Copies of this chain bind each other. A is one copy, B any other.
């Protein structure tokens, strides 16, 4: 059994060379928002959900990206509404959000 039922990694990498990167799309703010919302729902912790910062996951051109493990489902997102949908549908209810998958 997985230590975290859902372990979410947000790429928050910021590149300085002008190339595409998740850091140019409010990735850190969106990750912090997701972490805070999971905590407010009391879904954080062992056996439940963890929302992590991560470095570059090498899908820069498709970013901003996050990945949900152990499901291995990758998403892109634009705003808090997208993050809320990923949380409510996939993380809490187990139903992946097809429209945001990459």
Contacts and interface: CB of A to CB of B under 8 A. Distances in A.
A27 to B, nearest CB: 12
A73 B79 CA distance: 32
Contact of A70 (B9, B45, B56, B69): B69
A52 B54 contact: yes
Contacts of A67: 3, 7
Nearest to A11: B52
A58 interface: yes
Stoichiometry, as copies per complex, reads 2
Chain A interface residue bracket vs B = 20 to 34
A9 B52 contact: yes
Contacts of A56: 52
Given A52-B9, A54-B52, A54-B55, A72 B69 contact: yes
Interface of A: 2-3, 7, 9, 45, 50, 52-59, 67, 69-72, 74
